[in-house]
Amino acid sequence: MAKQQPVGLETDGFKAYDDKDKFKATNKEGNNIKKMYAVVSGKGGVGKSSISCMFADATNKLNYKTGLMDADITGPSVPKILGVHEVAGATETEVIPAETKGGIKFISINLLLEDDNEPVLWRGPILGSVVKQFYEEVSWGEVDYMFVDMPPGTGDVPLTVYQSLPIDGIIMVTSPQGLSGMIVAKAINMANQMNIPIVGIVENMSYFECPDTGKKHHIFGESHVEELAKKYDLKVLGKLPISPQLTELCDNGRIEEIKNNPLVDIVKEHLL
């Protein structure tokens, strides 16, 4: 039997790709964002938000003006990891981003809600328009590097980000247990179809290094990231260990206190 097109979908699939320019966000006067990287995964819970914040910390510590956009509207976790919860200043026409102690500017829907425990019950198109507003209406000023922490998967928000924002590259995050090939493939294929270059893959929670013996244990199974990278002709940017200290820093909003941020080397080698 011939494959049936889902009801409501045009036969030419992602029609929106053809009209890419129609969705472009306009640059706000006074903003100059030089490079934007989206931090993406197929599956949830692999560490995108932690890694987005660590990337922001890395460029910030290298003295680049750094911004971070929390594009996970229904599951925002950036304020918690960065330890800043104050509502960003807002007027009728602009939003002032929040700023960490170290000077990272960021925006998250949780900074704009009266009660950050309230769920966001908005449908896809509205979620997308919030992300667009994060670009068009936030007074970012000069930013050398902006990271976009994405929700997992290939839904409305990633589609809006890819179509609307000037993303220079995608950083794909996986974990050994998250490497269900098909799910990662969907995220990679989406980026390819949208013509956004993938800088490479970071494998998070790759192994645990025993502090007593120094031996590496592959708690979540053997890594398949090299195979994946080869299959899609991508670079492996790095493998990060399972680190109880990192969980602690993220859970307590102290990520900027991280010692020897392992992403500094990745930034120097692949992002600058």
Ligand X SMILES: Nc1ncnc2c1ncn2[C@@H]1O[C@H](COP(=O)(O)OP(=O)(O)OP(=O)(O)O)[C@@H](O)[C@H]1O
Task: Report the sign of the C-alpha dihedral through residues 32, 34, 40, 44, in that order.
Answer: negative
- Whichever of 47 and 176 has its CB closer to ligand X, that residue is 47
Indicate whether 250 belongs to the interface with ligand X (CB under 6 A).
yes
The pattern of x and - marking residues 65 through 84 that bind ligand X according to CB under 6 A reads -------x--x-x-------
Indicate whether 49 belongs to the interface with ligand X (CB under 6 A).
yes
The pattern of x and - marking residues 36 through 55 that bind Mg ion according to CB under 5 A reads ------------xx------
Indicate whether 242 belongs to the interface with ligand X (CB under 6 A).
yes
Indicate whether 247 belongs to the interface with ligand X (CB under 6 A).
yes
Indicate whether 174 belongs to the interface with Mg ion (CB under 5 A).
no
Buried b (16+ CB within 10 A) or exposed e, 104-143: bbbbbbbbbeeeeeeeeeeeeeebbbbbbebbbebbbeeb
Indicate whether 48 belongs to the interface with ligand X (CB under 6 A).
yes
- Binding residue (CB under 6 A) for ligand X from 104, 170, 172, 205: 205
Cα distances (Å, whole numbers) of residue 190 to 51, 125, 160, 187? 21, 18, 12, 5
- Whichever of 13 and 44 has its CB closer to ligand X, that residue is 44
Count of residues near ligand X by CB under 6 A: 21
With contact defined as beta carbons under 8 Å apart, do 264 and 256 qualify? no
Q: Measure the CA–CA gap between 108 and 248, rounded to whole angstroms.
A: 21
With contact defined as beta carbons under 8 Å apart, do 47 and 216 qualify? no
Where do contacts with ligand X occur on this chain (CB under 6 A)? 41, 44-50, 72, 75, 77, 152, 204-205, 240, 242-243, 246-247, 250-251
